[in-house]
Amino acid sequence: MSSLARIPTRLPYILVAFFSTVLFSAMGTAQEPSPKLEQKPAEQSFPSAVPAPSPSAASQAADETGATPRLGTGDLLEISVYNVPELTTKSRLGNTGDVYLPLVDYVHLAGLTVEEAQALIEKRLSDGGFVKNPHVTLNVDQSVSQGASLLGEVARPGVYPIIGEPRLFDVISAAGGFTSSAGRSITVTHRNQSDKPVTVPLSRKLSDNPASNISVSPGDTILVHKADVVYVVGEVGRPSGFTMDSDNLTVLKVVALAGGTTRFAKMNDVRIIRKGPNGMTETPVQLKKMLQAKVADIPLKADDILFVPSSLSKVVMTRSVDAAVQAASAASIVAIH
């Protein structure tokens, strides 16, 4: 048989062998993991565009949100070293933020978290060769820096702890509320913005201005101002000082608050005594014409003194009338007897 006659007979075997080779090659390729994927996993194939924050940056971010409390001046700390009772100490952070510890001298702890402070003390003990592998425990007995300082016209000024997310009125309420001399404004100085104090106006009813109830953070200083006062002295019904609840307190208003003038008042010689940069000044007030609406009312300023003098002629005349009445009374008694 010629070679041409044998080709059709072998052709099926050749085709089967060819397709088997291709099939097994494809299966092997599918099962075998790609070397490229093993060397560079998907999560590492694209480098991060922003580097991971350092521990200090992370701590700073946590501190800004108030999540991580930090040590501050005035805090009372109790520090102990495991198995070394001689190094146990209780001390308060000074104004410089330093605390004195046995062996290691002064250590600056202000602004650190408790964990950071423990690590720093451990390092100082280890580097100085004082304690091998020290384990330091730091407890805050009194956290002054985690409280708000409340000053001014409140019942109980002092430092009040800041727990949770308190508001301004919560702290004032804890201090017993305002005194009778409290004014209508509060200054809040935030710990991280000491150069930008915030002035909070107050209404007669605190509920009238809910925007004044701002949030308070640890380390803030709250000052409740004393109310501005205008004084009325002389021939009025109730000489006294009157708080300025608003800026529109005038002569006629304070005279009315003082119960009006007495019969001895010299109406055309009333004066406003005001302290200025150049000393005391006096401004004449025509109170009689003012009461008759012939001249305009005059606004007053804080610490002004409205002086209503006595009329000597009225005093003398009144005393003469009183003397005449008394003499008549005496004469009538004598006549009866």
The model's pLDDT over 74-95, given as tens digits with 9 standing for 90+, comes to 788 999 999 999 999 998 888 8
Written out in words, the top-level CATH class of the domain with range 229-314 is alpha beta
Q: Is the pLDDT higher at 9 or at 300?
A: 300
- pLDDT, residue 253, reads 93
- pLDDT, residue 245, reads 67
Alpha helices, DSSP H only, in 128-274?
Answer: 168-174, 251-257
Q: What is the mean pLDDT of the chain?
A: 76
Helix (H, G, I), strand (E, B) or coil at 191: helix
Q: Look up tokens 């409290």; give the residue.
A: 182
CATH of domain 66-142: 3.30.1950.10
Q: Read off the pTM.
A: 0.50
Tell me the mean pLDDT in the region 105-116. 90
Q: Is the pLDDT higher at 333 or at 47?
A: 333
Please list the residues that pair with 91 across neighbouring strands. Answer: 77
Domain boundaries, the chain: 66-142, 147-226, 229-314
- The number of CA neighbours under 13 Å toward the Cβ of 116 is 17
Please list the residues that pair with 137 across neighbouring strands. Answer: 80
Tell me the mean pLDDT in the region 96-104. 89
| pLDDT for residue 198 is more than 70 | yes
Residues 222/196, Cβ–Cβ less than 8 Å:
no
Cα gap 227→206, rounded to integer Å: 16
Could you tell me the two tokens for 33?
């993991």
Tell me the mean pLDDT in the region 142-149. 75
Q: Is the pLDDT higher at 284 or at 32?
A: 284
Asked which of 127-131, 200-204, 276-280, 313-317 is least confident by mean pLDDT, the reply is 313-317
With CA atoms as reference, report the closest residue to 242 among 224, 260, 227: 227
Q: Please determine, looking at this structure, whether the domain spanning 147-226 carries the CATH number 3.10.560.10.
A: yes
Percentages helix, strand, coil for the chain (3-state, rounded to 5) are: 35, 30, 35
Could you tell me the two tokens for 71?
């040590």
Q: Which helix (H) or strand (E) holds 330?
A: helix 312-336
Domains 66-142 and 229-314 share a fold: no
Percent of the chain with pLDDT over 70: 70
- pLDDT, residue 2, reads 44
**Count of residues for the chain?**
337
| pLDDT for residue 149 is more than 60 | yes
Q: Which pLDDT band, with edges at 50, 70 and 90, does 54 fall under?
A: very low
Please list the residues that pair with 84 across neighbouring strands. Answer: 81
Residue type for position 282: E
- The number of CA neighbours under 13 Å toward the Cβ of 138 is 24
- pLDDT, residue 28, reads 46
Residues 157/175, Cβ–Cβ less than 8 Å:
yes
Residues 261/255, Cβ–Cβ less than 8 Å:
yes
Q: For 313, which DSSP code?
A: H
Give the Å distances, CA to CA, from 160 to 142, 169, 173, 216. Answer: 11, 12, 11, 11
Tell me the mean pLDDT in the region 106-126. 92
Residues 113/69, Cβ–Cβ less than 8 Å:
yes
| pLDDT for residue 269 is more than 50 | yes
Q: Which pLDDT band, with edges at 50, 70 and 90, does 203 fall under?
A: confident
